[in-house]
Amino acid sequence: MALIQETDYGTPLRVAETMVTLEVDGNPVTVPAGTSIMRAAVEAGIPVPKLCATDSLQAFGSCRLCLVEIEGRRGTPASCTTPAEPGMKVRTQSPKLARMRRGMMELYISDHPLDCLTCSANGNCELQDMAGVVGLREVRYGYEGANHLEPGKDTSNPYFSFEPSKCIVCSRCVRACEEVQGTFALTIEGRGFASKVSAGGTDFLNSECVSCGACVQACPTATLIEKSVTEKGQGDRSVVTTCAYCGVGCSFKAELRGNEVVRMVPYKDGQANHGHSCVKGRFAWGYATHKDRILKPMIRAQITDPWREVTWEEAISHAASEFKRIQAKYGRDSIGGITSSRCTDEETYLVQKMIRAAFGNNNVDTCARVCHSPTGYGLKNTFGTSAGTQDFDSVDAADVIMVIGANPTDAHPVFASHMKHRLREGARLIVVDPRRIDLVETPHVKADYHLPLRPGSNVAMINALAHVVVTEGLVAESFVKERCDLAAFEQWRQFISEERNSPENVERVTGVPAADVRAAARLYATGGNSAIYYGLGVTEHSQGSTMVIGMANLAMATGNLGRRGVGINPLRGQNNVQGSCDMGSFPHEFSGYRHVSDDAVRQLFEHAWQVALQGEPGLRISNMLDAACDGTFKGLYVQGEDIVQSDPNTQHVSAGLAAMECVVVQDLFLNETASYAHVFLPGSSFLEKDGTFINAERRIGRVRQAIPPMAGYADWEITLKLSEALGYPMHYNHPSEIMDEIARLTPTFAGVTYEKLDRLGSVQWPCNEKAPEGTPVMHVGGFVRGKGRFMITEFIPTDERTTDRFPLILTTGRILSQYNVGAQTRRTENNVWHDQDVLEIHPWDAENRGINDGDLVSLTSRAGDITLPARISERMQPGVVYTTFHHAMTGANVVTTEFSDWATSCPEYKVTAVQVQLAKRMSAWQEQYREQRRITTQILSQTGAD
Ligand code: SF4
Ligand code: SF4
Ligand code: SF4
Ligand code: FES
């Protein structure tokens, strides 16, 4: 495939009910009212010269290159800033216009280095292109006058450079940072000839810049350019694919030279990201070809033995014979597997199929267990579907946005930019979070209410918000009457009206002033379209499912469901966590969330798969580990997950794995879990395979192979081999055939084909006969389950309590530059921003303990202790500390406990009672971990595999 060049229409698309027809160079064209002449011309196939305009930004009108003539009007207006009007007759070419444009270009070029042929942007530079378009041959003024050609280049950002001598001060970068990203890191300093772009008076690395790259993409010259392009040259082909990091699911053009990625460019037609990205997707892709990749299968008898590189055949047959031996000795249910939310839908579908059909049991689980399983439970029980209700674009119609337990600017950055855009347009904002996250106050955005509740008091808070709605007469009675189960509603109304749920009564639990809760509830209920966006701060609690139900109750009571601008929207973590759940990765459900005990459904799968299937749910991850410690669970297949680092109570996870007789790990890297593995199967990155991912808005997007699998096989092919060796051959020539099977067996996917995905770009499930092009907004006109179901949400405090010994609450999360357990981002330049996890602590708590910024501190819970540096931060509230879990050496999950959500076993990562003290040395666990890494490195060097 050649390099994809997307059309730049110069100014953004306008949506209007009225259309206008005009003539451009004699060609009639009809566009929505408000469209610029420039865009109308491009839509008529007539490009107009331009430099300061690009269609991701509002028109600015500074370069004067896009001048046109309009019949009956004087002068030569800029086509980018002049709206099309009915009957206009526009001329884009005339001798006068040509003369004027050449004059403009002369001014630019006379102040520009003449190194086009050796410039990294050669062949991909709009200034160069425009010089050609206007026919500039020579510069009459010469090159001797005052200029901006002084040397000096800012290379501080690890991924892009800034060379001011090439800048034409078009301001596209400044506007991209404001309009697209919403960070406002850049300004134009000075006036007139002295004006120049500045990153707030410092270099890019030390500025407010979050390295999203929007400015680089907007820059028409090589002033801002990716270092990878400077080093490797321009790409010669592109492949459109989907980011493998977070649940936003941004679409990218991977630009390649041969089989080497040169850069990732956000795809303008990407329906989740509309041409924007964050630092991870755009820049942090180097892990995919990192030297740490293991490219040969390996086996060993004991986990203390050196690895032995073997052929694929030997590794697969060894794994299969071990699993068979274990089942023969300990029974059918003594093995299981974990699917990966980083792998494609087709791959996770195959793993669960292999487990159910070839292992013969339902012992399959996925990482959603530790993040959004309560979302599935809560939304299914109230609305009838285990997924978010809206598409991302729905936020454009929201009048009130309530963010609960989520930190979008760090964890879902592209959607955060979208949300901030809507907030700058005037939507109101309520933030419910123990920390003062960036959204609470960021340039041109300020939350109307920040409710800094104590970790563990979510349900008390949502009950109090609902109490205000019900007791102050703010219930959307007609919505409830028409759409909800009235008996359940009346029961709930009685419960929630009880005085014990009032903001005044729960204040001592939440720590939030009742007046603020009342005001926030009134705003949510009466402010127009109100939408809730939430994250793991909701789900990772002992009452995670109750809280999801509580939010669903609140949205139903106020009628905020079933149209644009409203809804309950989980911001899901991993790129394909929605997909891995949809594909039947839970022990109790087939694809499409159908229970394994449902005879009709099971028979459907038995018939299709030609095998008898178990009708009882299998073991969850935590049950598998418990059973391993008890000696009844002996073998595990883990595809693309690192449960030692990601799951709570690390010591328990390690003990469970160590007690097994065969652990098979399939991954890119020898991760922490691989320390307990007997078979290692090299995995493949998202660049190496075809398939689909499903993002947080249920959007099924294509993953397309950009380079061949480095270890020889894509992950789905490896599962096929293992299944065959286990005696259950499956036959697919391409992932599209797996999707065809998913569509045949899953009603919500019945209309999904690769042909349709290629044609439409993506679709949101349900996609079937009723909705052939997918479903952006759920529950329009009625809930999937019929009547919406209110459920009682009794607040039951977690058993994890602060005590004299553990007086602080630890809560955990992630930051922008790192991702999850860090396996990918730690192998990129993103470490510049976060090379270790730190403990954020409020100044009072620090002072009480004699802790200064940067001091090494111990973090101790009843589960374990670790040490890490302290960062004193007023973002914290007194009594609450916070850390991330991106670095294995930190071992944040050594201190988290075994408490979990009552309904789904989702771990309670967000509430751990801890003590923090000054420390002199690393904790015993960390010493032990360091020794373990040393042994692993030694074993690897004996293997010759590093
Ligand atoms: S990389 Fe993004 S945040 Fe940084 S200056 Fe450019 S647009 Fe702004
Ligand atoms: S850096 Fe690029 S986008 Fe920014 S003003 Fe200069 S030429 Fe324009
Ligand atoms: S927002 Fe998420 S999906 Fe988009 S580029 Fe960043 S990490 Fe990738
Ligand atoms: S493109 Fe219209 S003024 Fe620059």
Of the candidates 392, 367, 418, 413, the one whose C-alpha atom is nearest the C-alpha of residue 698 is 392
Query: What is the predicted pLDDT for the residue at 67?
Result: 95
Whether 170 is in the pocket of ligand 4, judged by its Cβ within 6 Å, is no
Instruction: Give the distance (Å) from ligand 4 centre to CA of residue 74.
Output: 18
Distance 223 CA to ligand 1 centre (A): 14
Q: Which ligand has its closest atom nearest to the C-alpha of 693?
A: 3
Q: Of 502-506, 648-652, 670-674, where does mean pLDDT reach its minimum?
A: 648-652
Please state the atom number of ligand 2 nearest to the C-alpha of residue 174: 4
Which one has a higher pLDDT value, 117 or 232?
232
Mutate to test the pocket of ligand 4, among 55, 60, 76, 126 (most ligand atoms within 8 A of CB): 60
Supply the pLDDT for residue 821.
Answer: 65
Mutate to test the pocket of ligand 3, among 210, 242, 277, 825 (most ligand atoms within 8 A of CB): 277
Mean pLDDT of 314-323: 97
Between strands 160-162 and 224-226, the pairing is antiparallel
Cβ(407)–Cβ(796) below 8 Å? no
Write out the two tokens for 530: 């109100």
3-state secondary structure labels for all residues of 39-104: HHHHHCCCCCCCCCCCCCCCCCCCCCCCECEECCCCCCCECCCCECCCCCEEECCCHHHHHHHHHH
Residue nearest to atom 7 of ligand 2 (CA): 167
168 lines ligand 2 (CB under 6 A): yes
Q: Find tokens 């010259």 and name the residue.
A: 221
CA angle (301 as vertex; 300, 306 as ends), nearest 5: 45
The pLDDT score that the predictor gives to residue 945 is 46
Region 856-861 average pLDDT? 92
Q: Which residue has the higher pLDDT, 136 or 584?
A: 584
User: Which among 758, 779, 769, 803 is positioned nearest to 912, based on CA atoms?
Assistant: 803
CA distance 816 to 83: 39
Q: What is the mean pLDDT of residues 36-59?
A: 96
Question: What does the alpha-carbon distance between residue 346 and residue 888 come to, in Å, rounded to a whole number?
Answer: 29
Task: Give the pLDDT score at 151.
Answer: 60
The predicted model gives 120-126 an average pLDDT of 78
* Whole-number pLDDT of residue 887: 75
Q: How many residues appear in the chain? A: 946
Supply the pLDDT for residue 142: 55
Q: Is 214 in the pocket of ligand 1 (CB under 6 A)?
A: yes
* Angle in degrees, 0-180, between the axes of helices 95-110 and 126-133, rounded to the nearest 10: 140
pLDDT of residue 946: 40
Ligand 1 atom index nearest CA of 213: 1
User: Using a 6 Å cutoff on CB, does residue 172 contact ligand 2?
Assistant: yes
Q: What is the mean pLDDT of residues 243-263?
A: 94
Q: How far does residue 53's CA lie from ligand 4's centre (Å)?
A: 5
For the residues 531-543, what does the mean pLDDT come to? Answer: 87
Q: Is 870 left (phi over 0), alpha (psi -120 to 50) or beta?
A: beta
pLDDT of 138: 62
Q: What CA–CA distance (Å, rounded) separates 525 from 548?
A: 18
Residue 177 Cβ inside 6 Å of ligand 1? The answer reads yes
Give the residue-averaged pLDDT of 598-616.
96
Going by C-alpha positions, the residue among 857, 833, 859 that lies closest to residue 913 is: 859
**Alpha-carbon 485 to chain mean position:** 35
Cite the DSSP H helix spans in 441-582. Answer: 458-471, 477-483, 486-497, 503-510, 514-526, 536-539, 544-557, 577-582
CA distances to 195, 370, 457, 740, 807 from 803, rounded to whole Å, are 59, 26, 17, 55, 5
**502 close to 510: Cβ distance less than 8 angstroms:** no
Mean pLDDT calculated for residue range 535-540: 84
> Is residue 581 lining ligand 1, measured as CB closer than 6 Å?
no
Yes or no: say if 792 and 495 are a contact pair by the CB < 8 Å rule: yes
The answer to whether residues 277 and 264 touch, using CB atoms and an 8 Å cutoff, is yes
Q: How far apart are CA 176 and CA 217, in angstroms?
A: 9
Residue nearest to atom 1 of ligand 4 (CA): 50
Q: How confident is the model at residue 147 (pLDDT cuts 50, 70, 90)?
A: low
Distance 576 CA to ligand 1 centre (A): 27
Closest Cα to atom 5, ligand 1: which residue? 209
Do 340 and 639 meet the contact criterion of CB atoms below 8 Å apart? yes
Mean pLDDT of the chain: 91
CA-nearest residue for atom 6, ligand 3, is 278
Which of 416, 338, 322, 303 lies closest to 815, judged by CA?
416
Ligand 1 contacts CB of residue 209 (under 6 A): yes
Which range is least confidently modeled, 464-478, 572-586, 621-635?
572-586
Which residue's alpha carbon is at the smallest distance from atom 2 of ligand 3? 246
Tokens of residue 26, six digits: 């004699």
Closest atom of ligand 2 to CA, residue 169? 5
Confidence of residue 150 (pLDDT cuts 50, 70, 90): low
Q: What is the pLDDT of residues 441-492, one digit of tens each?
A: 999 999 999 999 998 899 999 999 999 999 999 999 999 999 999 999 999 9
Q: Strand, helix or coil at 342?
A: coil
- Atom index in ligand 3 nearest the CA of residue 413 equals 1
The percent of residues above 70 in pLDDT, for the chain, comes to: 97
Helix, strand, coil percentages for the chain (3-state, nearest 5): 35, 20, 45
903 lines ligand 4 (CB under 6 A): no
The predicted-structure confidence for 895-905, as pLDDT tens digits, reads as follows 887 787 777 87
Which among 910, 707, 879, 723 is positioned nearest to 798, based on CA atoms?
A: 910
Q: Mutual orientation of helices 735-745 and 345-354 as an angle, nearest 10°?
A: 70
Is 77 a pocket residue for ligand 4 (Cβ < 6 Å)? no
Check residue 137 and give its pLDDT.
66
Ligand 4 near 50 CB (within 6 A): yes
Atom 4, ligand 2: which residue's CA is nearest?
Answer: 173
CA of 43 to the centre of ligand 4 (A): 17
CA distance 193 to 150: 14
Give me the mean pLDDT over the 521-543 stretch: 91
Q: How far is CA 625 from the centre of its chain?
A: 29
Q: Which atom of ligand 4 is nearest to the CA of 79?
A: 2
Report the 3 state secondary structure along 143-191: CCCCCCCCCCCECCCCCEEECHHHCCCCCHHHHHHHHHHCCCCCEEECC
End-to-end CA, the chain: 34
pLDDT at 797: 85
Counting from 1 in the atom list of ligand 4, the atom nearest the Cα of 49 is: 1
Q: What is the pLDDT of residues 699-739, one digit of tens each?
A: 999 999 999 999 999 999 999 999 999 999 999 999 999 99
Q: In what order do the strands lie in the sheet with 237-242?
A: 237-242, 251-257, 260-266
| Rounded Cα gap, residues 636 and 31, in angstroms | 59
Round to whole Å and give the CA distance between 794 and 914. Answer: 26
273 or 108: which leads in pLDDT: 273
Ligand 4 site-directed mutation target among 9, 39, 50, most atoms within 8 Å of CB: 50
What's the DSSP call for residue 558? T
Percent of the chain with pLDDT over 90: 71
Mutate to test the pocket of ligand 4, among 54, 64, 92, 175 (most ligand atoms within 8 A of CB): 64
* Cis amide prior to 766 (ω within 30 degrees): yes
What global pTM score does this model have? 0.91
Q: Which residue's CA is the closest to the ligand 1 atom numbered 3?
A: 209
Confidence of residue 769 (pLDDT cuts 50, 70, 90): very high
Q: How far apart are CA 550 and CA 479, in angstroms?
A: 17
Distance CA(499)–CA(520), nearest Å, equals 18
